[in-house]
Chains A and B, each alone.
Chain A
Amino acid sequence: MSNENIIEVENLVKKFGDFTANDNLTFTVKKSEIFGFLGANGAGKTTAIKILCGILFPTSGKVSVAGFDIYKERNKIKENIGYMSQGFSLYEDLTVKENIEFYAGIYGVKRKVIKTRLNELVEKLDIADLKNKFVRDLPLGWKQKIAFSVAIFHKPKVVFLDEPTSGVDPITRRQFWDLIYEAVESGITVFVTTHYMDEAEYCDRISIMVDGKIDAIGTPAELKTMHNAKNMDDVFIKLARKQSEENK
């Protein structure tokens, strides 16, 4: 982790009509950090991720990703990020190799580079026998691992992962996190959402969103001390309880 900020968000506001999805968000994410972006369903996480990925304009506020301004340099941002979600990962009717070639191609990775990286990847994941299989024939765990490898194939500065491990078996889930660690070591910043509270502990820093606002931000240890909680699950529950009492 360095001190260079790869994501800078200042007073970000996003409104849909009279509904405020993101209410004055301010946070930074450092280079090569695993940043856990937690929150209840409907708290505004997806909206914020869409803004950071450059596919949605904020109503107001300053946002820069990978050193580029969200308003003026959206295309630059898109070149420098990777994205993976639980819903969409890979084309089911293409083979693993074809998927990789396609994604690498649209990010402008040169053919020769694709070839070498593909070979490296096949070796690393030990997928020589899966390479030419259709994605639809792969077990879910493999799909997710390969989808992640595809998302960082063009060596982006930041990768956004939206519930990447949903429904995956416990071993694959941990293997997936091993891949995340590896990516971080190679200098990629990881921005991840999850509903598994144990995974929150694996992040360097986390933010917890409640009703469009960031309610807490810090390292897992800091948050646990601050809320006098024994684990992240506890922190999460305490924050939500506090919120619902305030509403009353």
Chain B
Amino acid sequence: MKRFRAFLNKEFLHIFRDVRTMMILFLIPVFQVLIFGYVIKNEVKDAKVAVLDFSGDVMTAALVAKLDAANDIKIVKTLYSYEEIEASFKANEIKAAIVFESDFAKKFNTEKTVDLQIILDASDPNLANLLNSYISAIANNYARDKNIGAAKINVSVEPRMLYNENLVSAYMFVPGTMALILMVITALMSSISIVKEKEMGTMEILLVSPLKPIQIIFGKLAPYAILSIINAVSIIIIGNLVFGVPVLGSPILLLFVSFVFIMMALSLGLLVSNIAKSQQVAMFISMFGLLLPTMLLSGFIFPIKNMPLALQYISHIIPAKYFLSALKSIMLKGLGISYIWKEISILIFMTIAFIGISIKKFKIRLDS
């Protein structure tokens, strides 16, 4: 144990002495969350919206004028059929379409209730979410201003593109960033730090010393596990305080899932360090084998359902996919463990598999 402590101590000295490592560990996560957050906030400006008006009366005209006058919405098109909506979405001409039912003013005045449908492009969930609340608010204000008894406009929302029907992923950037950063810190940094010892020749001395291989492995991984947890917590806090990303479910479950993912990433880092002989190779494998898939195939940036079938299959072996799905359930839907046990078990299974392979491959001697 004393030996192990000495080893840990040394590892922390390495980390705290290296400015670059410290930046990657502490500054980059914060910046990444802030940048993602602000980029998403700034996207809503003059969103293009089309109108499909089956009524064409005074009231709908007034509502369209009000919507067009609103800051962030621009009515760019008037449509005449549902088919045209689909076509406009596909041509990327509009982000949303508003459908007024026929006899709008009449129904509002006599039946006291009328339907307004918003059709949204849900592949851009952040924007869709915002447009939804904007349009609803404008319509409701308008109804209140008319002040005809209890008359109201029923706003119904219909997302398109099939994916992401509940639009909760406006805040996906927090889980996504977390997956990415935990992957960078744990897999990339830990594998590089192990390979560095091989390169410097110090691994030779460690292998000849009474330190057990398992102590070397854990001594190398433990500091990064601790630092990643700190990072995970700070990302959640920043997301919540700065951007209002909620944590609806249990914080303890959230931490537990993060911990499972960190373990998985560490076991991947260990595997990379076994294969790589130089820091460059470790970096290369981590970048292309771990980080890019985490970003592109996990559902973080591109919705999995929109991917070609082959990529959808590949996404099944991307650990971050399960992590994201679990995080989403906990943070944004407030679901408990009974809903995410599948994701957790898959991550744990992956961890065990990677560690198994690594330990089998860890060389207590030098390569021959």
Direct chain A–B contact by Cβ atoms under 8 Å: no
Which of B's residues lie within 8 Å of A, judged by CB?
none
